[in-house]
A and B are shown apart, each in its own frame.
Chain A
Amino acid sequence: MSGFRSMLMTALACACLAAGPAAALDFKPYGRGDFAKIVKAHAGRPLIIHFWSVTCPPCIVELPQWAKLLDAQKGVDIVFVNTDGDEDRPRADARAEKAGLGKAAHYGFADDFVEKLYFEADKGWRGELPFTALVAPDGAVTTVTGAVDDPLVVKWLAKTAGK
Chain B
Amino acid sequence: MNALRHSFRLLLALGAPLALGAPMALGALLGAPAAMAEEHAPASATAPATPPAAPAAASHHAAPACSEPKPACAMTVNPAFDSKGALWVAFAVGKTVYVASSTDGGKSFSAPATIATIADGVIDSHGDARPKIVPLADGALLASYTTRPDKQMIGTIFTARSTDGGKSFSAPQALLNEGGQRFETFVVTPKGRIYAGWLDKTNMLKAKAEGKEFEGSGVAFGWSDDHGQTFQGKKILLDHACECCRMSSALDKDGQPVFVWRQVFEGNIRDHYAAKLSADGATLTGGRVSDDNWAINSCPHHGPGMTIDANGVWHVVWFTKGKNRQGLFYAQSRDGGKSFSNPEKFGDDAKAPGHPVAIATKGRLYRVWKEFDGTTTSIASQTSRDGGKSWSAPRVIAETADASDHPELVANKNAAYLSWVTHKEGYRLIPLPRDDKSASVK
Tell me which residues across on chain B come within 8 A of A148, comparing CB atoms. 26
Stretch in A3-11, A21-29, A39-47, A134-142 touching the partner = A21-29
B226 proximal to A (CB < 8 A):
no
The answer to whether A58 and B297 touch (CB under 8 A), given A147-B20, A150-B21, is: yes
Would you list which residues of chain B between 11 and 41 have a CB under 8 Å from chain A?
Answer: 20-23, 25-26, 29-32, 34-36, 38-41
Distance A163 CA – B50 CA, assembled complex (angstroms): 38
Task: Tell me if B374 and A119 are in contact (CB < 8 A).
Answer: yes
Which residues from chain A contact B30 at a C-beta distance below 8 Å?
Answer: 68-69, 72
* Contacts A19-B53, A53-B299, A112-B62 given; does A124 touch B122 at CB 8 Å: no
CB–CB A115/B372 < 8 A: yes
Interface status of B211 (Cβ within 8 A of chain A): no
Known contacts A59-B299, A68-B32, A149-B23; is-contact A85 B61 (Cβ 8 Å): yes
A90 in the interface, Cβ–Cβ < 8 Å?
Answer: yes
A91-B152, A146-B21, A149-B25 known; A119-B31 Cβ under 8 A: no
Contact residues of B between 267 and 324, Cβ < 8 Å to A? 296-302, 319, 321
Which of A22, A23, A27, A61 makes the CB contact (< 8 A) with B39? A61
Query: Which residues from A are CB-within-8-Å of B441?
Result: none
Interface of B, secondary structure class, is loop
A57 near B153: Cβ-Cβ < 8 Å: yes
Partner of B22, one of A59, A91, A151: A151
B321 touches A151 (CB 8 A): no
Closest-CB distance, A111 to chain B (whole angstroms): 5
For A154, what are the chain B residues with a Cβ–Cβ distance below 8 Å?
A: 22, 25-26, 29
- Name which residue of chain B comes closest to A17, CB basis: B52
B contact residues around A110 at 8 Å (CB)? 60-62
Asked whether, in the complex, the Cβ of B61 is within 8 Å of the Cβ of A86, the reply is: yes
For A145, the chain B residues whose CB sits under 8 A away are: 296, 298, 321
125-159 of chain A: CB within 8 A of chain B: 125-131, 145-151, 153-154, 157-158
Chain A, interface size: which category? 35 or more
What is the chain B residue whose CB lies nearest that of A24? Answer: B51
The reply to whether the CB of B75 lies closer than 8 angstroms to some CB of chain A is yes
* Shortest CB distance B399–A (Å): 12
Quick one: which of B39, B47, B61, B75 has the most chain A CB within 10 A?
A: B61
* A57-78 to B contact mask, C-beta < 8 Å, 1/0: 1111110110011001100000
Closest A-chain residue to B27, C-beta based?
Answer: A149
Q: Are B403 and A27 in contact (CB under 8 A)?
A: no
Docked pose: A123 CA to B111 CA in angstroms? 41
Chain B contacts of A72 at CB under 8 A? 29-32
Per the bound structure, the CA–CA distance linking A88 and B152 in Å amounts to: 10
On whether the beta carbons of B62 and A31 are closer than 8 Å, the reply is yes
Interface string of B329-346 (1 = CB under 8 A from A): 000000000000000000
Is B299 in contact with A128, judged by CB distance below 8 angstroms?
A: yes
Q: Answer yes or no: A109 CB below 8 A from chain B CBs.
A: yes
Cβ of B52 and Cβ of A130 under 8 Å apart?
no
Instruction: Indicate the member of A60, A91, A93, A119 with the most B CB atoms within 10 Å.
Output: A91
B377 close to chain A: CB less than 8 A: yes
A95 lies within 8 A of B352 (CB): no
Looking at the assembled complex, report how far the CB atom of A33 sits from the nearest CB atom of chain B, in whole angstroms. Answer: 12
| Contact bitstring B67-102, A, C-beta under 8 A = 1, else 0 | 000000001000000000000000000000000000
Interface residues in A92-128 by Cβ distance below 8 A to B read 93-95, 97-98, 108-116, 118-119, 123-128
Q: Which residues of B contact A86 (CB under 8 A)?
A: 53-54, 59-61
B184 contacts A by Cβ under 8 Å: no
A-B contact pairs, 7 of them (CB 8 A): A21-B51, A22-B51, A56-B298, A61-B39, A108-B60, A112-B403, A128-B321
For the complex of A and B, 9 pairs with smallest distance between CB atoms: A112-B403, A94-B48, A60-B41, A86-B61, A56-B299, A29-B60, A19-B55, A115-B372, A149-B26
